[in-house]
Structure 1
């Protein structure tokens, strides 16, 4: 089955404390986004990638695409006002029955193995959402203050969120709602059951300077085969 990855990379550098958007920051001499693109290229030889970027960063995106080993499998489109609108813009370029992965451009440590696992589960169940179990104590605010909840029932959601194309494209025909914090929430609004699979602890989102240090260490350990 055909495979498309919509990679959304519209973040800024505000929480990182830089003027350079975090997807373009250097990680071991390569932009964060380069690692994300490479993971998807490595996962499947027939993977096609739609990179969604703010219009003012298209030239930088093109330079990064050219630096990958298979730039012909990647093309760009312009992002929208919100993540929802950016994903919708990317989905408009998919016109064939396929499996669609939607991924955060700054989750640069995901592995090809996770991508393939998402694919297999989505083919079987219609969708696959990687998630990991919470390890910290969790408390939730209530009208009476706050209370502890069972962390074993809490799942931290990751990407790539993976769907049959007809499911996700139909979902994104809905009007935007502030409750749409990820693709699963958009699809779930249609009444579709969401299927969680095991994610990867290292599949972090590069948001703060500490995340870059963690990412460097993870890449070093992978290089050493640890």
Structure 2
């Protein structure tokens, strides 16, 4: 089963997004004196780029033909995530190393931001697969993720700030919030990975009752 799942993984999309993210991280080495204040935004942009690639992870043109296999959906989904975890870890390690040490943000805190973004992306994919009949929800999820990121930057209340500079007094509090985001994303993802009882179309209408 591992071989079959590997063949259906959208590694091209994930790899392209990861390459774009690494390019953004590498730009921190070319910014000269501006690198100190550009390093964090560029690394966050790299995280977003890779997260956009992760929303494609559960895209599967054959999902309707494999819905009758005896292996439960949570196992199939968990296997996909497990197979990509080493890639995620390696990608993040390289992204951090591309940022010069003297301007690198606190590793534990920025890793928490990355883990939260990746968990949100995967959870969005899980929910889309459970509640729609789409075989390729990735493009719509990617657009939604990018739009959400922009709206969060523009309109998120300051008292609950998430994207703050390292020197900001709210840095520690912001990362307490990131920990909550990560926990909620993981919880929703785990609860949403089960077999659907009722499907909904992307337009919001109830679909046929299904156990696929």
TM superposition score normalised by structure 1: 0.27
Q: Which has the larger radius of gyration?
A: 2
